[in-house]
A and B are shown apart, each in its own frame.
Chain A
Amino acid sequence: MKRAQLVIGLVLVGLVVVTAVVSIFWTPFDPVRVVPGQRLLGPGWPHLLGTDGFGIDIVSRLMVGARTVLFVGIISVGLAAVVGVPLGMLAGQAGGWVDEVVMRVADIVYAFPALLLAILLAAVFGGSTLTAMAAIGIASIPAFARVARAGSLQVIASDFVLAARASGTSRWAIAGRHVLPNLAPLVGVQASVGFALAILAEAALSYLGLATPRPNPTWGNMLRDAQELMWVAPLQALWPGLAIALAVLGFNLLGDGLRDYLDPRLREVS
């Protein structure tokens, strides 16, 4: 049953990844070219999910949207992990005032509304995919720092680290050889959950016009376009909404599934 969670998560995430990769080489129709004669077609052939208010094929736009979502997720989660994990390890291993300073700063960043940060960045640099990635990434750093710190404390308290210290192994070697490899599963779970949050945040920011600008399609700005046509063509909002929901669900299930799969207490029994 727990395995099912992981499998469903993997399938949904796999679907997003495959769609995104395929969209680089091929989409059924041009995802940005306006075709005035074919506005708001219903689902059918050859436009499987119909066309939007500009006469553009919805399947094609969704496919390219998957690419944007993955790109934003990878960069923002990557940024958060690359900055957050070393900071958390530093806090956990150094302890004392270093720990105190790092974690209090993390608390402040955590308390700062991510949306406000995105608006600020968009106001200064102009709303783009890049500012959205930066805002989401920075807002996710504290979560990674906390996970890495908690994991480091646990690893450092273990006897194998004590044994390493007893033979004069340096702090750096302990961090690289013992702490980091044992953090990997925790960070993987956090990355998966962080990915889901990044997708939601990116959709929200695009919806508000603070991220990827039109005509480049993202699920968020597709929702925004659909909203204006809500009474004329309600199905328009369904597709990007469904895509967002399934992708978020997929990454959350994957995260939860990984957590259970990697839980040493559960594994020791098997």
Chain B
Amino acid sequence: MTEPLYRAEALTRRYRNGRTEVLALDAVDLSLDAGQRLGIVGESGSGKSTLVRLLAGLDRPTSGRVWFEGTEITGLPERRLGFLRAAVQMVFQDPRSSLNPRMNVGDIITEPLRSRLVRRQLPGGIDHARRLAEVLEAVDLPADSGTRYPHEFSGGQRQRIAIARALAPKPEVLIADEPVSALDVSVRAQVLNLLTDLVAAQGLTLIVVSHDLMVVRHLCDRLAVMRQGRIVEQGDTASVYGDPQTDYTKALLAAVPKIRIEG
């Protein structure tokens, strides 16, 4: 049996908030193979974002372990996380806050390429200008976007900039935390389609966090349902949708507004 791309064991994260302690993540086990597209759904506060931040090495678990490509990343110092930083990139919810308003788009997108940790992982290096042009084209933005600033772009375009930045270092894994929930409904479909195409074209492993089941159904082939810091159900998207096992999943599915188009 081959080693999965990501493996998490008994992952627990507690936050101390003044005197009260919040258990954000409660002994979560997870395994993800390369090329899979995992959707993590659940209501706000269910621990979805905490989980992906631990997977991306942006936070440290209170207890439990995470392996990426067979190497344990929990407890590794930042300077030895280069392989993870180069291979895993994130797209955040709101591009108004995930793009530095004082940097131009070219600098924003090539920032991952300038990180010393990432550079060491990219044999031969990457030509920044050429890579910028490539990813701008990949996300369907004008070629002259590099010299402009984020505020000159619409919300949907800004999220494309964030996606372009994530693609720049040629990652293996893309983690998207609520990638469309801050966008206008009118551009959500475009951004979702873009993500679908990019993941297929570049053979990315995808992890999508969303409270919106439609988003996850659109993007993912595997589904994990979270509630109160635990994964309460997981499996193929189709089977979870078709035959939900827990009452909570049933309730979630029932809460999705149904619009059926016959034909």
Chain A contacts to B: CB under 8 angstroms: 158-160, 162-170, 173, 177-178, 181-182
Contacts and interface: CB of A to CB of B under 8 A. Distances in A.
Contacts of B103: 177-178, 181
Nearest to A158: B97
Contacts of B85: 166-168
Say what secondary structure dominates the interface of chain B.
Answer: mixed
A165 B58 contact: yes
B61 interface: no
A164 B169 CA distance: 12
B173 to A, nearest CB: 11
B115 interface: yes
Given A166-B58, A181-B100, 9 more contacts: A159-B94, A163-B165, A167-B112, A167-B118, A168-B78, A168-B117, A178-B103, A181-B102, A182-B102
A170 B115 contact: yes
Nearest to A166: B90
Interface of B: 56-58, 78, 81-82, 85-86, 88-90, 92-94, 97-103, 111-112, 114-118, 162, 165, 169
Contact of A167 (B89, B94, B98, B102): B89
B155 to A, nearest CB: 13
13 contacts: A159-B92, A159-B97, A162-B90, A163-B92, A163-B165, A164-B111, A165-B58, A166-B58, A166-B85, A167-B112, A168-B117, A170-B117, A177-B100
Given A159-B92, A178-B100, A181-B102, A169 B111 contact: yes
8 closest A-B pairs by beta carbon, nearest first, are A168-B85, A168-B117, A167-B112, A159-B98, A168-B115, A181-B102, A159-B92, A160-B100
Contacts of A178: 100, 103
Given A162-B58, A162-B92, A167 B97 contact: no
Given A159-B94, A160-B100, A167 B111 contact: yes
A173 B118 CA distance: 14
Contacts of B112: 167-169
